[in-house]
Amino acid sequence: MNEFRLRLPQSDLDDLADRLARTRWPDELPDAGDEYGLPLARVRALADRWQAFDWRAHEDELNAHPQYVTEIGGDRVHFLHLRHPDPGALPIVLTHGWPGCTVEFLDVLRLLAEHFHVVVPAIPGFGLSGPTTRRGWDVRRVAGAWAELMAALGYRRYGAQGGDWGAGISQHLAALAPDRVAGVHVNYLPTTGAPDGLSPADQARLAKTMALAANRHPHQLLFAAGPQTPAYAFTDSPAGLLAFWAEKFDTWSDPATPVPDDRILAGVAHHWFHRTAGSSARLIKESWTTRPPVVTVPFGVAVLPGDLTQSIRPFAEQRFDIRHWTEFPRGGHFAALEVPDLFAADVTNFFRTLTNR
């Protein structure tokens, strides 16, 4: 493992500014709103803000935390690692999703580090971990890499937390190393089953989940079929990358708690500068047929009202040992970015309950 500090060459920043300034903007139908996709005015405003974005200040924010890079499975893994003063504190590994990166957890690091050793790796193929160079990086393989990473850090028992891809990876980690994972906390858990006996509220949740399953997001179908093809556009056009990524942050968050624009821009910039838009998309293709794991460790669920779907507790209890269940009053798909205080408190309550600390 090698210590790491982020400092991009000025030429990379200048190249981005030049490309943004020379963007060829598409036309837009009059009064189109968001019916055809992310509105032109929204993307142009974000692009203008990106040109003024203080990347060096973001580097300083990251570099205020201990960072490392290592190699696992033949590919690079970058991670943040905040050690608690008490050696006996529980370690927790936090895993981001797509279209995110480790930026997702910057607003909760200090809050969680008050109670835990905190490890935040970038999924191979995402952001600071850089592009993958080998086939087969599905969610199960990422989970195996996390098990190897936590063992290398000297942690024999730890908790796992995640949303989006991070939720699945955390579950696979618990299935691969049930003797080491003390518990799993997720803030995204689609649940399905027979509607008989459900409350009207849970029936509405089931209908929403089934509709989502029947109408997969177009990017999922695109990435599963051929992630290399859109990678050319994402890697060459910062405005194109920005529009595609920002649409997800805008539409998957709770309107009451939108992801701050500067956090959107920081996350998009990680994929731009490290050329991981294409490699992050490969995770869908690699994981398309990976079966859900069998998880036996204690399980905690945070349900956010503005998320893509809301978990149904009776169904979740059929698959998991539910020890903790919280219905958030607000927040969407990006919990740690949208409601960092609520997120950190819920994660803390779950794992402290497990350890009686």
Give pLDDT, residue 357. Answer: 64
The count of domains in the chain is: 1
The predicted-structure confidence for 103-157, as pLDDT tens digits, reads as follows: 999 999 999 999 999 999 999 999 999 999 999 999 999 999 999 999 999 999 9
Residue 216, pLDDT score: 86
- The number of helices, as runs of H, and strands, as runs of E, in the chain is 15, 9
**pLDDT at site 356:** 75
Cβ-based neighbours of 64, under 8 Å, separated by 6 or more: none
CATH number of the domain bearing residue 336: 3.40.50.1820
Res. 62: pLDDT tops 90: yes
Average pLDDT over the chain, rounded to an integer: 97
Residue count of the chain: 357
Contacting residues for 108 by C-beta, under 8 A, at least 6 apart: 336, 340, 343, 344, 347
Q: Is the pTM of this model over 0.85?
A: yes
* pLDDT above 70: percentage of residues in the chain: 100
Task: Determine the structural domain holding residue 77 and report its residue range.
Answer: 2-355
Q: What is the pLDDT of residues 147-184, one digit of tens each?
A: 999 999 999 999 999 999 999 999 999 999 999 999 99
pLDDT in tens, 91-106: 999 999 999 999 999 9
For 281-330, the pLDDT digits (tens) are: 999 999 999 999 999 999 999 999 999 999 999 999 999 999 999 999 99
Contacts of 136 (CB under 8 A, 6+ apart): 286
Query: What pLDDT was estimated at residue 173?
Result: 98
